Every structure is written in C-alpha cells, then in structure tokens.
Structure 1
Amino acid sequence: MLSEKELERYKHPIAVPGMGVGLQEKLKQSRVLVIGAGGLGSPVIQYLSASGVGVIGIADYGVILEEDMHRQPLYNMQDLRKHKAKMAASRLFSLNPWNKHYPLLIQVRPDNAKQVFSGFDLIVDCSQHRATHLVVNDACILLDKPFVTGEVHNWMAWWGGFNMKPDNNPILASYRCNEYLLDEFRNFDAGAMGATHGATALLMVNEIIKYLADVPGLAGKLHTFNYLHQQFTVTDLSSDPEKIAAVKETGLLTPDEYGLEVVPDVED
C-alpha cells in the first residue's frame, strides 16, 4: 500500500488515464535489476526510481571516470573514481527514499547470474556488451525471467523486450534468436553522445513502466532509432525454438565460450 506521502508524491502519474493508485502500487511492488550504471544504465535507474519502482538492484563493478561524465549526469565531479553502483544507490535514495536501492559491486557472469537474477521480476541489461547480453539471455531463459536490453552507438540506438510473452502468443523471443537483426549496428561503434544515451534510456523506461503496468508494447518488439535522421522503427522479434531448447539443455556456458573477460571481484 502507498503511504499518504507517496500518494502525494505520485499524484500526477496516478492522475494519468489508465494508471491510478492500483498500478502505482504495482510499480512499488516491482523488483527490477539493472546491469550497468553507466551512460545508459544511470538514467534508466534514475527514472525507474523516480517513477516509484519499489526495489532496484544496481549491478556494476566499475568506477566513475571523467571521460564518461558527459553521459552520466547522475554523478558529480567529487564522485570520480568511486564505484558507480554505490554512488548511484546513494543518489537514488536522496531522490526517492521510499524505494530500496541495492548496489551490487559485481560483474554479471555465468557463475553468479542465476543466483543474482532469482530475486528480481525483470532484468534490464544496460551493459552494452555482447558477451554480457548472451549471459543474461541464457540465465533468463533458464529462470524464465523477462529481460530488456539495448545499446547506443553514436547516433544509432536499439532496445527490445526479450523472453517475454506477447499478448495472446506463447512464443518467446530470445536475444540469441534475434541477434542477426543487430548486425547492422556493429558498424557504429565509434564515439558516444550523451543526449542519445539519455533519450534512449527514457524511451526504454517508458516501455518498462508500461510493461510493469501490463500495458502492451515492449514484449517481443525491437525498437530502433536513428537520431541523426529521426528515423524510428519497431520490428516484431522472432523465436527460434531450437536455439531456446539448446540453452535449456546445455545451461550456462563458460566465460571463454561467451567471450567474456572475467574481472577480479571488487574489494570494497
């Protein structure tokens, strides 16, 4: 139940047609894990918290660097060299003390993914790292967890809702099933614009909130945006039952098989 202070805080989103107190309470009951608290992840967690998502896990083992500040306005200059996950949790508590924000100073990898994911309803992979996407994909298939992932490459962005059941359709679309759709984005690796990261994060959060509120639009869809030419597309994701069955049969692979470079655990 929402407290009187929360009802006052969320009175404007509650007033949006189709939302109401019931759906705001549903957001409070939601548990979302965000992997990566950088250019894409930091605005994602900021707006998820502001929107009233009750429990937010923040998985990131990295530290704040000055060269990244242009796309990570959640942090301040005095935060340099501090752990992103810890500073993000601190900032979010000051933004919305009615939520719970858990910093996890870990690298998501095959030996911990299932354990970490088990306590959350939705996984949001903002790592922008293919090997991590594959680990997340496989762990979510094994745990039957929905997840969202995306990337931003200079003017180009994509994000989608994977391992989710679209309306009236039992077929699940995994990241592995649809990676061929993302090949064209591999050619846009140079540079990183701050505004494109922020804009993409907000579009993702809007779809995530709709998903948590049972509004269609995210499940089984791939969203792409060319910010330079203002070209936006939405494509239906496909399902490859053989690839999904192979993941269920084989389980999680080794870091080397994913192409994942394992980093030492953070000593905090």
Structure 2
Amino acid sequence: MVNLDTSQIELSRDEMERFSRHLILPEVGLEGQKRLKAASVLCIGSGGLGSPLLLYLAAAGIGRLGLVDFDVVDSSNLQRQIIHGTSWVGKPKIQSAKDRILEINPYCQVDLYETRLEASNALEIFSDYDIVVDGTDNFPTRYLVNDACVLTGKPNVYGSIYRFEGQATVFNYEGGPNYRDLYPEPPPPGLVPSCAEGGVLGILPGLIGVIQATETVKIVLGEGTTLNGRLLLYDSLNMKFRELKLRKNPETPPIAELIDYEQFCGIPQAAAAEEDTSNSIVEIDVAALKARIDSQKDFVLVDVRNPNEYDICNIEGATLIPLSDIESGDGVERVRELTNGSELIVHCKSGMRSAKALRKLQEAGISGKNLKGGILAWGDAYDPTIPKY
C-alpha cells in the first residue's frame, strides 16, 4: 500500500453514483474510493499497454494520471491501441489519450509530458507520482524506468508483449525485486524484434494492460496479493498462464544514479558496427530497379520477408526466400542456384533485413545489391496499391 492522505478528499454526489459499484464492495468502500481519488499514477507510454490501463485507471477513479509520450497516432496503431481513434491519426497520442480519459472520468486530472523520457528528466517527473506503470516497448526505457523507480522509491507496475505472449509483474514494491534482478543485462541489440518487425496480436496488450491496471488499483487500495515477487506469463494461443517466482539477487549491483541507457544497451555500438558492415553493401534505388524491369534486363529479385508479408504485397517477379532460411544456410544455396551468374537484387520491407541477408550471402561468396527503402519505397514510387503495413 502507498501512503495517501485522504483527509481532504470528498466525493460529489455524481461521483458517488459513478463509483457506486465500488462503494458497495467491502474491500473498496468509501475510504477506498477516496484513496483512488487521492492517488497519482504515471504511465510511461500511451500505446498498446497504455491504452487499456489508462482507460481502466480513469474509469476506476484514479484522481491524477500523468502521461509520458512523444509519438503521434499512426493508422497501424489502431489494431491494438484502443484509446486512440481514426480521427486522431497524425496527431499526438497523449492529446488523444487525454480526450478519451476525460470522456470516461471528467474528475481525473491529466498531466501531459510530451517528451522523450530520459535520464535528465525522469527523476523530476517521477517524484510527483505515487506509482509508475511501464507501458514501453524498448530495453533502454525499461531500464531507465526501473532505475528511476528505485531511486525515487516508486512501485513499478511492469508489462511487456510480443506476438502472442505477454508478461506482467510488480517491481520495487515492499522490498521486492526490481527489473535488474530479472534481467541483469539487456539482450544484444536486434536479438528481440520489435512489434513492427515481429507483429503482435491486437487483443494481447488489452489483457496485459488490464492486469497492470488491476495491480495498480490493488496497490492503491492495499487489498489482495500483488504480483510482487511473481512474474506472470501469458500464452494467448494456448490460453495458458504460468508463474515464475522472482527474488532479489544479492549480486545485483546497487543503483546509485541514472546512466546512459542507450550506451548500456549497446545501441550506439551496434549502430557503429552496422555502419561499418553497411559500407560493403551496395544499394540500388527503386528507379534503377524499375529501369531493369522495363528493359527486361537479366537479374534476380529476392524477397527476404516472411511468407505472410509476401501474401500482403509483393513485387511482381520476386522470389520469396525468407531471411530465416538464409541465416540457417538453407536459403543460401537456393539463392546461388537462382542467380547462376545473373545480377542479384535483394529486398525486404524497408531495407534493413535485406542488408542483413546480403551480409550473410557475402560470407558465402554471393554478391548482390540491396533495394534502398524496400517494398515500401517501391510502393511510394510505382505501386499505390501496396499497403504500408
């Protein structure tokens, strides 16, 4: 339970009616609803996880919500980020979220931080809130949120999602473990694909976000058993939940200050290494590819996306050989047989995976060119029917 002063908190008649189903619960009651109104919760991100948890925290009667986000609504967000609507595409997410929150609960104070969360501002922002909820999707920010929570003494209600699986827990609460006890070191950059690369079931963040909202409300009320010391794992395809026990690791170094989290996660180093290797990758733009197609020049076009992406859209004449097949070695010989002396051009969605495929092919002695901008650039220039998936 967090310390809250409810001595000056009053509920209006409208609030009494609005939260009547809470008031008749012995575990909530009038005092519990006052605690919810007195509580302040900071949500990092208003995307897939932030959408459901913000909606339900507002509906539950949390008195003050802080939102940290600097992104704008994209049409691809709407499959899962249910706090936003079509009319908000291209506009700031936090403004969209605030409008929806106030539609649900006009008594909620909504504070907006339209900025990137960084080591330079995290402690100041966190200091004004009782609980922090992590709705982010990248490792540097997760470590930053964790360390800032430890330094400010705030509970960290954590959730993450990928494809069909999710996990949730409560860190830094009642002497329990923090994120570094679970993940002492970040994975190598690029090892864990983002949702944009690997996809995510749109319903999944709804469930994990609601679990985060539930844990937040329980912490405010001081009722029930939280996920402190337990990592909840969810497999949506098989509708299974599992639990792993979490303990503080005595070998985890103490957190004394905020650091450079991009550097800690190896992102600048990986970018530098990729730039070095990219110098050996020859690129070709979509205009040059179009010229080759129009002149019927002898060349082979290989698409290294996944089969389901190929079904969404493809460039006529391209042969599908997924990057995973090339990395395993099975696809290398297929490429060798296809080219047989012809010029090789490789493409993916935006040019990143195809560059990776070419590096693997170069190791096997196969040279080729990378289509700059991938199929998205091709669609912009020559095929408006290609969706921006």
- The TM-score range, normalised by the shorter chain, is 0.7 to 0.9
- CA deviations on 1:133-185 (whole Å, 9 max, x unpaired) are 100111111111111111111110001100001xxxxx4301001127998x9
Post-superposition Cα deviations, 1:48-92, rounded to whole Å, max 9, x if no partner, equal 001000000010000000011010122121101100011111111
Asked if residue 25 in structure 1 is aligned to residue 37 in structure 2, the reply is no
Q: Secondary structure, in 3 states, of the residue corresponding to 2:111?
A: strand
User: Alpha carbons of 1:121 and 1:243: their partners in 2 closer, same or farther (altered >3 Å)?
Assistant: same
Quick one: distance in 2 between partners of 1:146 and 1:255?
Answer: 20
Matches within 5 A, 1:230-241: 230-241=239-250
Return the match for 2:142 from 133, 137, 143: 133
Does structure 1 residue 55 correspond to structure 2 residue 61? no
Matched, 1:179 2:187: no
Deviations 1:23-50 (A, max 9, x none): 1110111100000001111111111001
**Partner Cα separation in structure 2 for residue 21 and residue 178 of structure 1:** 37
1:113: Cα distance to partner? Answer: 0.5
Q: Please name the residue that 1:253 is paired with.
A: 259
CA RMSD of aligned residues (A): 2.2
Task: Give me the whole-angstrom Cα distance separating, in 2, the residues matched to 1:197 and 1:24.
Answer: 26
Specify every segment of 5 or more residues in structure 2 that has no aligned partner in the other structure, as ranges. Answer: 1-9, 269-389
Answer whether contact 1:154 1:188 (CA < 8 A) is retained. Answer: no
- 1:132 & 1:188 partners in 2: Cα distance? 14
After TM superposition, give the deviation of residue 244 of structure 1 in Å: 4.7
| d(CA) in 1 for partners of 2:128, 2:250 | 27
2: CA distance between counterparts of 1:103 and 1:241?
37
1:92 corresponds to: 101
1:42-81 mapped onto 2 (5 Å cutoff): 42-81=51-90
Given candidates 108, 111, 115, the residue that maps to 2:120 is: 111
Instruction: Compute the displacement of 1:235 (Å).
Output: 2.4
Of all paired residues, the percent bearing the same amino acid is 28
Residues 80 and 188 of structure 1: CA distance in aligned 2, closer, same or farther (over 3 Å): closer
Whole-angstrom distance in 1 between the partners of 2:111 and 2:161: 25
Q: Kindly tell me: are residues 258 and 219 of structure 1, through their superposed partners in 2, closer, same or farther at Cα, counting changes over 3 Å?
A: same
Q: Which has the higher contact order (CA 8 A, sep 6+)?
A: 1
Give the Cα separation in 2 of the matches to 1:230 and 1:182. 28
The match for 1:202 is 210
2:339 paired residue number: none
User: In the alignment, which residue of structure 1 is the partner of 2:357?
Assistant: none
The one-letter code of the counterpart of 1:203 is: I
TM-score of the pair, normalised by structure 2: 0.61
Counterpart of 2:91 (choices 32, 57, 82) is: 82
Q: Distance in 2 between matches of 1:8 and 1:38?
A: 30
In the TM superposition, what is the alpha-carbon distance from 1:260 to its structure 2 partner? Answer: 8.4
- Provide the rounded CA distance (Å) in 2 between the counterparts of 1:112 and 1:260: 21
Letter in 2 for 1:256: E
- Kindly tell me the number of residue pairs found equivalent between the two proteins: 253
Larger Rg: 2
SS at 1:194 equivalent = coil
Task: Tell me which stretches of 4 or more aligned residues in structure 1 moved more than 6 Å.
Answer: 180-183
Query: Is the CA contact 2:186–2:265 (under 8 Å) kept in the aligned structure 1?
Result: no
Further displaced range: 205-214 or 32-41: 205-214
Structure 1 counterpart of 2:164? 155
Secondary structure (helix, strand or coil) at the match of 1:97 reads coil
Please state whether the residue corresponding to 1:32 is helix, strand or coil: strand
Q: Give the secondary-structure state (helix, strand or coil) at the position aligned to 1:92.
A: helix
Instruction: Note the C-alpha offset of 1:203.
Output: 1.9
Shift of 1:218: 2.7
TM-score when scaled to structure 1? Answer: 0.88
Name the CA distance, whole Å, in 2 between partners of 1:223 and 1:100.
31
Asked whether 1:142 is paired with 2:148, we answer: no
Q: Contact between 2:234 and 2:241, CA under 8 Å: does it hold in 1?
A: yes
Distance across 1 between alignment mates of 2:261 and 2:166: 27
Contact 1:149 1:161 in 2 (8 A): yes
Deviation at 1:225, TM superposition (A): 0.5
Provide the rounded CA distance (Å) in 1 between the counterparts of 2:42 and 2:101: 14
